[in-house]
Each structure stands twice: as C-alpha cells, then as structure tokens.
Amino acid sequence: MKKKFIYILSLFFSLVSCEEYLDVNTNVDGPSYADGYLYLANITQQYNGVYWDGRALAPMAQMWGTTSYSNFALNYYNVGSDSAGEIWRMTYWNQGQNLENMINQSIAAEDWTLAGIGYAMKAFSWDLLTKVHGELPMTDAFVPDLLSHDYDYQKEIYAQVREWAYKSIELLERADDHVYADKISSNDFIYEGNKDKWIKFAYAVIVRNLSSLTNKTDFTSTYAQELIDAASKSFQSPDDDATVSIAGGSQSAPFSSFNNFWGTARGNLLDNYFQHEYAVQVFTGTVPDYDEATGDKTNLEFANEYYPYALAENQIITDTLVNEPGHFDPRATVKLSTTSNTNYENLSNADSVKTYQYFGGTFTSASGPIGTAPSVYGRIANSAYEGAEHDGTGRWLFRDDAPYVMTTYAEIQFCLAEAYWKTNQTTLAFDAFKRGVSADMQTSARYIKTGSSGSPTGGDKITSALFNTLADEYLEGPFVAGLTDFSLSHIMMQKWVSLYPWGAAEAWVDMRKYHFDVDYTGEYPSEGNGWTQTTVEQKWDTNPSKVYKGLYLSPAQVQGRKGTYNINNEGSPSYRIRPRFNSEYMWNLKSLEILTPISGTAPNYHTSIPWFAYPGELPQ
C-alpha cells in the first residue's frame, strides 16, 4: 500500500512545475513591442490634433468666430473641461511614449535617420505646446513610476526645444548606411523619408522658436543672429513646406479619421465656426475708421449694404475697393468663404470673382456687423456632403483629402523679415517679406480644388489659373513689390494672412508678443498699465507703433467691442490656455499650484504672461 501511495504522490507532484508554468502573461492579441518605424505613421498623423485645437485658437487670433469655443473667443476658458487640450493630449499621449520609443529604439539600433526625424518632431510638438500652454512638465515627463510631475519653466523648455532640433540635425547629418527600404518612406507622411527636407524642417523649428522672442529686450543681442542663420538653412521654397498627407476617401474611407479633421466627412466644422469680421476686414481691405473720441465707426452717407462704413486710410494687405490690377488679393477667395456665386459659375472670370462678397461674424456669433458669416465651406448651413445642395468633400484646406499644414516656407520668410526689421536691416527685411508673400500665394494655390460650374456641390470658387494671374498682379502691385511705406505691420499682418487659419497657434503667439497692441507704457503690460478691471485701452490704428492695424480685442474701446472680460480675468486678455483639465487640474494639482508668478490654480492663470512674450525676465 505504501508503494501505491508513493506512486500516486509522485504522480501529483509531477504537476508541480517550473517557471514555465507561470510564463503565460504574454499578450497574444496585441504586441508589447514594435520596431521604431512602425510608430512613425501614427506620430506624423497625430498632428491632426493641431487642427482640433485650432478651432479654439483661431478665435483667439481673431481669425474665426465660434459658437462652440465661445469662452475661448472671449479670452476665457471652459471651466472644468478638457476643451482646447488636444495639443496637450497629442504631445504627451498620442505622440508621447510612441515618439520616445521611436527615438530611443532608433538610437540603440543606430538608425540615425529615424532618430533624427523623431527629434525634429519632438522639437516641433514641444515648441507648439509651450507656446500654447506656457509652463509644462518636461523633465518629469515619461519618467516611469513618478506619481507627481513638476513643471519646468518656459525658458528652459525653449532652450530644450532648440537642443532637440540641433540634435535632430546632428543625427540626420550623420552617415547612415542602414537599408531602410520603404520602412521610413512609406510611414513618413511629411517628407517621405527625405533627409534634406527634415534637416530644413529642424531649422524651421529653431526659426519659429526664436521668432516668438522678437519682442524680448535681448532679442537682437541674444537670438536674432541665430534665427537668421537657421532661416538660411531652413526651407528654400514652398516645395519644402511641412505638411502631413492623408489618405482621405471621404465616406468610403475605412476609418473616418483618414479624412482631414476640417473636411466635410468628419463634421467638425459644421456652421459653428466661421470667419471673423477682422479676417474679412484684413483680407478685403475694409478695416473701418473709428472715431477716436467715441470709438464708433463712421457710417457712410451713401453707404451700400456691403460697405456701410468709412474705411481706415491705411489698409495693409489690400484695397479691394480700388478696382485696378494689383489691388485685389486673390487669397481672399480661398481663405475666406463666400455665399456669392452659389452655383459656381464663371470661375475663371476675374470680374466675376472680384465681385464676391465676404461677411465676417463676431467672436461668438455668425451674425456680423454687416452680414452673416457662412460656414468655411460657403453656405449658411451646417456642412453636408449630400443633398440637393451640399459642400462635397469641402474646399481648399477644409477638404477631406487636404494635407495638414504644419509650417511653410512663407512663414519662415516672414520670421526672417521680422528679425531683419528688428536688427534694422530693412532692405533684407523687405526682400524676405516679398518672398514670403509670393510663397504664400504658391502655397495657397496648391490646395485649390475648383468647384464644378453650375453645380452647388462644393469646391473653390476660383480656378488655379485665375488665382495665379491675380496673384502675380498683386505681387507686383502697391501692397507688395510697389510698397512705399514698408513697416512691421506689413510683415506681421502678411504673416497673419499666410497663417490663416492653419497656423492660428503661431498667429496667436505673434499677437501675444505684441500684447494685442494694448496701449501701455513701461515694460510690463498689466492692470493699471494697459488695462483695468473692465476695459483694455488699445492703440488706435493711427498710432504708428500699432502692429495689427484694425485689431481690437473684445472688450476694447471701439464700437461692437465694448464690454467686460470674465471677472476672473481681472481685465486682462488671455495669454495662455490652461493645461488640460483632466490631466493637470484633476491629477497633478499640487505641481500646478506652485507655479509663479501666478499659480496654476489661480482663477486668472490663463492671463499669466508667458516668458516668451514678457520683455525681460519674469518676476518670481
């Protein structure tokens, strides 16, 4: 019996095993590791997040009005909400660890090209992120096991962004004899693996980074030359523009996110986003004249419905009312939308195209001072891709298959022009300015998809050929080549036009660094020195130091803009978007709280002036 017992005992203990028995915690349905290049497509495509938040930023840069992000349009924010937190989510999570892995794995494998591309994108994303939000957890980001993530100040983040960009250049310039076949080219939706263009892109990141510092007191001594040098090694023509190409496919796409965020298929720009009256004023040369005593516009005695007000003498971009060659900027036709020519007739006829009427809305209502602003697709209706009358796949950049624009040669040239201007190299500035405007014409023309004549089914209301003809005339005309009173306003406002609306984030950077042309003295615009609890005194358009002619905040002293900010603003416009609520205010509060000079938890944190826009060093 004992024998039996021992036999049975040993039989059971044969089941007692070894380590392998426990080795079953492997995910058989999803990999835990992927080669670096397999992350690349996703990282590039995540830049659609910029268009997501662009809907909050464009109203802050007075490009658009909105009924959705109205709190942002009014220089406040959505309390307790994640809105306008998508760039945050993109940088930390959607690219985040994926990008870190791609860089680290590539460096370990000595895949210098892939690592260099990674660093370039990392620099671009963090530059954008700090410009929108200011202080960020950077040193603590992606460190495993941390339960709190302290913030780095913007000054350090700025330096780090450029360091990453230079690191990128260094890696990309290294000899890399690895055979990638199509591993990079088929996953890189920005430059298809073109190393030279990536190097130029990394320099563009440096230019854009330094360009936001032009109003700092030490710009000329510390940053100007670095900017000028980087610009020379950056983009050489609009062919180098950084864009993210997408598959599109509209309704037959396997995933709707194959389509552009601003296309009709995604339904993200119904009729709740529309061009701002300021955009219409700038693009069509109809910035009104305000009575400096009352702030009122002057009604014309013989006004027609479309031009009811007297216009300011000094229009910067164009003077459409003067119907002479060179006075018409054709970009209005594509960048703005119009309800004119509903049936898409005579799209190659200049006289017809020039008669289109453009209406802009206010910050929070499509119903503007002159007329109702249509959707970006050109109808006073929600976007639609089917029905008797519809928007098709959209138009221009607002099209299902339009690539996402990240930065352009034009933008870099305007940055260069501004740097030359600041360093008193006016002739060089004027040359860069002209290259910039010309380049933006080419960039703008590239995305034209002319509608079908007689068919109200979407598309642009101009042909590319006509656009180019009008563009050439304009470039030779009195507002570009023939300019006699070249000024900083021309550089900055043409830059603003070129950024419309894809570069709203950068346009907002420029507006903030010039402090929205708030009328202040001394180095620090603040309550009592530029604004009070209730009003912001802005420079009049006649003031030569005013950069953005016609730009008035809401509230300001002019007609249609009088009012008050949210009481928490303490009279100040918004200078940053608060960090994403459900990342920081819910789960990282203590770290946010200790920020200076204004605590991240203060009711007016969104008015805290970021370092880049602050003339000197911030008070602590």
Partner 1 sequence: MFTSTNENNSFMRKKIKAFFLIFFTTSFALLSAQNISVSGTVADETGTPLPGVTILVKGTKKGTATDFNGKYNISVAEGTTLVISSIGYKKQEQVVSGSTLNITMVEDASVLGEVMITAEFGQKRAERGVGAATQTIDGSTITESGRENFITALSGRVPGLQISSTSGAPGASSNVVLRNITSISGSNQPLYVVDGVPMNNSSFDPNGMAGGATSEYSVNNSDFSSRGNDFNPEDVESITVLKGAGAAALYGSDASNGAIIITTKKGKAGKGRVTFSNYIKLSNAYGYPEMQDKYANGARGTTNYYYTSKYGGLYPDGQQLYDNVDAILQTGVQQRYNVAVEGGSDKATIRASFSQLNETGVIKTTEYERTNLSLSGRAQITDWLKFEGSMQYTGTENNKVRRGTESPLYRAMLWPVVDDMSNYLAEDGLHMRNPEYYHDVDLLNPLFDMYNNKYYDESDRILGNVSLNFTPIKNAFLRAQVGWDVANQTYVSSRNPYYAYNNAGDGSYSLVNSNYSDPSINILSGYDNKFLDDKLSVSAQVGYHQLENKITRASTYGTNFIDASFQSINNVDPLTIVSKQRNTKRRVQGISGQFQVGYNNMAFLTFRARNDWSSTLPKENNSYFYPSIEGSFVLSDLDFIKEIEAINYIKLRGSWSQVGKDANPLQIDPELQTTGLTGGGYKYGFTGPNRNLKPEITTGQEVGVDFRLFKNRVKGTFSYFETENSNQIIQGFRLSYATGFVLNTLNVGTFETKGWEAAIDVDVLKTKDLTWNVGVNGSHGTSEVVYLPENVTEYYNAYTWLSGNIRTGISVGNPITSLTGRAYERNDNGDILISPTSGLPLTSSEWSNLGNREPDLRFGITTRLKYKNLTLSGLFSGRLGATVVNGTKRYMMQRGTSWESVELREGPDQVFEGVIKDGNENTANPTTNTISVDYGTYGSSIFTGGDEDWIEKDIKYIRLRELRLAYRLPDDLLKKSKLLNSMNLYFVANDLFTWTNYSGIDAVGNAVSAAAGGVGGEGYDVMAIPNPRSYSIGLSIILN
- The interface with partner 1 within residues 258-317 (CB under 8 A) comprises 258
Q: Residue 349 and residue 158: Cα distance in Å, rounded?
A: 48
Return the number of the residue (254 or 522) whose C-beta is nearest partner 1. 254
Reported as type and span, the H/E element at residue 273 is strand 273-275
Q: Residue 331 and residue 280: Cα distance in Å, rounded?
A: 11
Residue 318 tokens, joined = 């164009």
Q: Residue 539 and residue 556: Cα distance in Å, rounded?
A: 10
x/- letters, 116..155, toward partner 1 (CB under 8 A):
--------------------xx--xxx-xxxxxx------
Q: How near is the Cβ of 428 to partner 1 at its closest, in Å?
A: 40
- Does residue 344 come out as left (phi exceeding 0), alpha (psi in the -120 to 50 range) or beta? left
Q: How near is the Cβ of 605 to partner 1 at its closest, in Å?
A: 14
Q: How near is the Cβ of 198 to partner 1 at its closest, in Å?
A: 17
- Select the span of 93-101, 207-215, 221-229, 455-463 touching partner 1 (CB under 8 A): 93-101
Return the number of the residue (1 or 175) whose C-beta is nearest partner 1. 1
Q: Considering only residues 590, 596, 597, 616, which one is a binding residue for partner 1 as defined by CB under 8 A?
A: 590
Q: Residue 465 and residue 9: Cα distance in Å, rounded?
A: 91
Q: How far is CA 516 from CA 56, 194, 520, 531, in A?
A: 17, 39, 11, 12
Q: How near is the Cβ of 155 to partner 1 at its closest, in Å?
A: 19
What is the Cα Rg of the chain in Å? 27
Q: How near is the Cβ of 355 to partner 1 at its closest, in Å?
A: 39
**35-54: contacts with partner 1 (CB under 8 A):** 38-42, 44-46, 48
Q: Does 9 bind partner 1 (CB under 8 A)?
A: yes
β-strands 394-395, 398-399 pairing: antiparallel
Identity of the amino acid at 146 = L
Q: How near is the Cβ of 45 to partner 1 at its closest, in Å?
A: 4
Reported as type and span, the H/E element at residue 242 is strand 242-244
**Are 209 and 162 within 8 A, CB to CB?**
yes
Q: How near is the Cβ of 603 to partner 1 at its closest, in Å?
A: 10
**236-255: contacts with partner 1 (CB under 8 A):** 245-247, 254-255
Return the number of the residue (53 or 510) whose C-beta is nearest partner 1. 53
- Select the span of 274-282, 314-322, 392-400, 577-585 touching partner 1 (CB under 8 A): 577-585
Return the number of the residue (30 or 522) whose C-beta is nearest partner 1. 30
Return the number of the residue (127 or 519) whose C-beta is nearest partner 1. 127
**Are 443 and 468 within 8 A, CB to CB?**
no
**Total Cβ atoms within 10 A of residue 221:** 10
Q: Considering only residues 7, 30, 299, 304, which one is a binding residue for partner 1 as defined by CB under 8 A?
A: 30
Q: Considering only residues 92, 219, 278, 565, which one is a binding residue for partner 1 as defined by CB under 8 A?
A: 92
Q: How near is the Cβ of 610 to partner 1 at its closest, in Å?
A: 19
Return the number of the residue (190 or 488) whose C-beta is nearest partner 1. 190
**Are 114 and 37 within 8 A, CB to CB?**
yes
Instruction: State the DSSP code for 25.
Output: -
Q: Considering only residues 486, 582, 602, 618, which one is a binding residue for partner 1 as defined by CB under 8 A?
A: 582
User: What secondary structure does DSSP assign to 353-417, as a single string?
Assistant: HHT-----B-SS-SB-SSSB---TTSSSS---SSSSS--TTEETTEETTPPEEEE-HHHHHHHHH
Q: Considering only residues 67, 96, 308, 382, which one is a binding residue for partner 1 as defined by CB under 8 A?
A: 96
What values do phi and psi take at 95, rounded to 5? -95, -60
- Select the span of 1-9, 286-294, 356-364, 487-495 touching partner 1 (CB under 8 A): 1-9
Q: Considering only residues 7, 10, 21, 620, which one is a binding residue for partner 1 as defined by CB under 8 A?
A: 21
Q: How near is the Cβ of 314 to partner 1 at its closest, in Å?
A: 43
Return the number of the residue (254 or 619) whose C-beta is nearest partner 1. 254
SS3 220: helix
**DSSP bridge pairs for 412:** none
Residue 467 tokens, joined = 């656009």
**Total Cβ atoms within 10 A of residue 405:** 22
Residue partners of 6: CB distance under 8 A and separation at least 6: none
Q: Residue 507 and residue 527: Cα distance in Å, rounded?
A: 24
Q: Considering only residues 64, 76, 77, 88, which one is a binding residue for partner 1 as defined by CB under 8 A?
A: 88
**Are 273 and 68 within 8 A, CB to CB?**
yes
In 471-485, which positions are buried (b, 16+ CB within 10 angstroms) versus exposed (e)? bebbbebebbeebee
Return the number of the residue (300 or 589) whose C-beta is nearest partner 1. 589
Return the number of the residue (79 or 322) whose C-beta is nearest partner 1. 79
**166-205: contacts with partner 1 (CB under 8 A):** 186-187, 189
Q: How near is the Cβ of 532 to partner 1 at its closest, in Å?
A: 17
Return the number of the residue (89 or 379) whose C-beta is nearest partner 1. 89
SS3 531: strand
Q: Considering only residues 7, 33, 179, 293, which one is a binding residue for partner 1 as defined by CB under 8 A?
A: 33
* Total site size for partner 1, rule CB under 8 A: 79
Q: Is the peptide bond before 137 cis (omega within 30 degrees of 0)?
A: no
Q: Residue 392 and residue 20: Cα distance in Å, rounded?
A: 59
**342-401: contacts with partner 1 (CB under 8 A):** none
In 60-71, which positions are buried (b, 16+ CB within 10 angstroms) versus exposed (e)? bbbbbbbbbbbb
- Select the span of 25-33, 217-225, 229-237, 274-282 touching partner 1 (CB under 8 A): 25-33
Return the number of the residue (144 or 454) whose C-beta is nearest partner 1. 144
Return the number of the residue (329 or 584) whose C-beta is nearest partner 1. 584
Q: How near is the Cβ of 394 to partner 1 at its closest, in Å?
A: 17
